């Protein structure tokens, strides 16, 4: 499973004065870390998203892709803070993965636990090819 699209707002305003108090506030340089795991029964995609709610995510399938989107609205209470340094800020994030042929698309599920979004992609059972020619013993 390969990621194909990853977008985020990360480019800081490089021409800002380095001593300006706002030079790092709105850079949005951090994107969630992603693990992709495979076992016999399924693929798992883990997205590290501490402080996020499940309502901040949108997960969908489009053609042969799994698309994960994140948009975090800034809380009005946090606007009163003045960050001296801000190294993580997930304002928007989008990543798409090409789905393998053996995924049961209708059974894809997701859960959010302890700051990690886990998406489960169950695999189709392997089709066992029948033996075409066989000698049958008479008992």
Q: Where are the domains positioned within the chain? A: 3-122
Report pLDDT for 84: 78
Report pLDDT for 90: 61
Distance between CA 124 and CA 104 in Å, rounded?
6
* pLDDT tens-digit readout, 79-116: 677 777 776 666 788 899 999 999 999 999 999 999 99
Mean pLDDT computed over 44-55: 89
Instruction: Tell me which DSSP letter residue 25 carries.
Output: T
Average pLDDT, the chain: 76
The CATH class that applies to domain 3-122 reads mainly beta
Report pLDDT for 135: 64
Report pLDDT for 122: 95
């Amino acid at each position: 499973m390969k990621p194909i699209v990853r977008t985020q707002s990360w480019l800081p305003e490089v021409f800002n004065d380095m001593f300006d108090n706002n030079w790092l506030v709105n850079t949005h340089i951090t994107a969630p870390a992603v693990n992709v795991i495979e076992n016999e029964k399924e693929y798992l995609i883990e997205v590290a998203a501490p402080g996020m709610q499940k309502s901040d995510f949108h997960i969908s399938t489009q053609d042969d892709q799994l698309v994960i989107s994140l948009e975090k609205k800034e809380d009005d209470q946090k606007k009163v803070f003045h960050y001296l340094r801000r190294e993580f800020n997930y304002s928007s994030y989008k990543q798409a993965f090409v789905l393998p042929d053996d995924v049961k698309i209708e059974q894809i599920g997701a859960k959010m636990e302890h700051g990690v979004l886990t998406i489960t992609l169950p695999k189709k059972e392997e089709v066992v090819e029948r033996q075409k020619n066989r000698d049958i013993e008479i008992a």
